[in-house]
């Protein structure tokens, strides 16, 4: 993908929790003020358009929690997906040892975009599509994917279109897929110390461009035409990028804001 860069100023961080838009100073943790630590994630976030995949289950078949179980103040939570009692963050834990999908070697605790009618989201590149998040990586062994656009229907590929990574040294890196057959180009897009709050927006515009904003810095990436037949969907959470026999090493990520919009 060819990259075009544009820098923009960031005055505030805007977070949407439970459908309410909230703004605070850049670098702040909005949920420390606005989220209720006593509620399950579904009591602070609109999870009606998400399905959860966890790093447990049977080999090749991770457990999936439907949107209906995630929603509400008493919605689903467990050791891999829960509200941090200290600040209300929606927290995802993916250990290095866990159940994986057939096409991955890495475990994940991750949300998959759905439609409000409970069907799987599967949108075309035309129009505008946006995933916005405010988050912090609490711990990571090596590398974790915190947001994706993934290929849906339209062909045999099970690859992502883009993946946003956070590395243990604090580097934020975007991976853009070269074609549906694979091959990924990496772009350094920022740096944030471990444990610090930051924000991103992953968007599609014009049917052929990825617009990525990290803490106010925006870069644009052309989408290769080989992806045009495919529809897409968003993912967000903790998709760990290292594996071992350890159940204590892994990636823990807390989200203070997470919204999806289409137009």
Ranges of each domain in the chain:
3-38+83-98+123-262
Could you give the percent of the chain with pLDDT greater than 70?
A: 87
- Which tens digit of pLDDT belongs to each residue from 183-234? 999 999 999 999 999 999 999 999 999 999 999 999 999 999 999 999 999 9
Give the pLDDT mean for 133-140: 98
- Which tens digit of pLDDT belongs to each residue from 101-118? 888 999 999 999 999 998
Give the pLDDT mean for 136-141: 97
In the chain, what is the greatest distance between 2 CA atoms, to the nearest angstrom?
A: 47
Q: Which of 231, 224, 208, 225 is nearest to 154 (CA)?
A: 231
What are the DSSP calls for the chain, one per residue?
--EEEEE----EEEEEETTEEEEEETT--THHHHS-TTS-HHHHS--TTEEEEEEEEETTEEEEE-HHHH-STT---BTTEEE-TTT--EEEEEESSS---TT-SS-EEEEEEB-TTSSBP-B-SSS-EEEEEEEEEEE-SSEEEEEEEEE-SSSS---EEEEEEEETTSEEEEEEESSTT--EEEEEEEE--TT--EEEEEEEETTTEEEEEETTEEEEEEPPGGGTT--EEEEEEEEE----S-SS-EEEEEEEEEEEEE-
- Which tens digit of pLDDT belongs to each residue from 10-42? 233 333 333 333 333 334 343 434 689 999 999
Cα dihedral: 210, 145, 158, 46 (round 10): -80
Q: How far is residue 140's CA from residue 122's CA, in Å, rounded to a whole number? A: 30
- Which tens digit of pLDDT belongs to each residue from 198-212? 999 999 999 999 999
Non-local CB neighbours of 28 within 8 Å, separated by 6+ positions: 13, 197
- φ, ψ of residue 70 in degrees (nearest 5): -80, -25
Helices (H), the chain: 31-34, 41-44, 67-70
20, exposed or middle or buried, with CB in 10 Å at 0-12, 13-18, 19+?
Answer: exposed
Q: Can you name the CATH fold of 3-38+83-98+123-262?
A: Jelly Rolls (2.60.120)
């Amino acid at each position: 993908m060819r990259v075009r860069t544009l820098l923009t100023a960031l005055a505030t961080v805007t977070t949407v929790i439970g459908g309410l838009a909230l703004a605070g100073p850049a670098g702040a943790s909005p949920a420390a003020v606005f989220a209720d630590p006593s509620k399950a994630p579904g009591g602070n976030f609109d999870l009606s358009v998400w399905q959860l995949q966890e790093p447990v289950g049977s080999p090749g078949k991770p457990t999936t929690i439907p949107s209906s179980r995630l929603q509400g103040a008493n919605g689903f939570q467990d050791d891999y997906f829960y509200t941090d009692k200290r600040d209300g963050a929606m927290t995802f834990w993916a250990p290095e040892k866990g159940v994986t999908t057939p096409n991955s070697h890495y475990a994940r605790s991750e949300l998959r975009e759905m439609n409000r009618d409970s069907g799987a989201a599967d949108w075309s590149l035309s129009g505008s599509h946006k995933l916005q998040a405010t988050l912090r990586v609490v711990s990571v062994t090596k590398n974790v994917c915190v947001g994706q656009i993934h290929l849906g229907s339209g062909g045999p590929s099970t690859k992502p279109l883009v993946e946003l990574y956070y590395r243990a040294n604090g580097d934020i890196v975007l991976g853009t897929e070269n074609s549906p057959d694979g091959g990924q180009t990496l772009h350094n897009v920022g740096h944030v110390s471990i444990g610090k709050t930051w924000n991103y927006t992953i968007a599609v515009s014009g049917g052929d461009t990825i617009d990525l904003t990290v803490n106010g810095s925006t870069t644009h990436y052309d989408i290769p035409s080989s992806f045009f037949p495919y529809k897409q969907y968003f993912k967000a959470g903790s998709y760990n990028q290292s594996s071992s026999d350890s159940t204590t090493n892994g990636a823990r990520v807390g989200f203070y804001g997470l919204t999806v919009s289409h137009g």
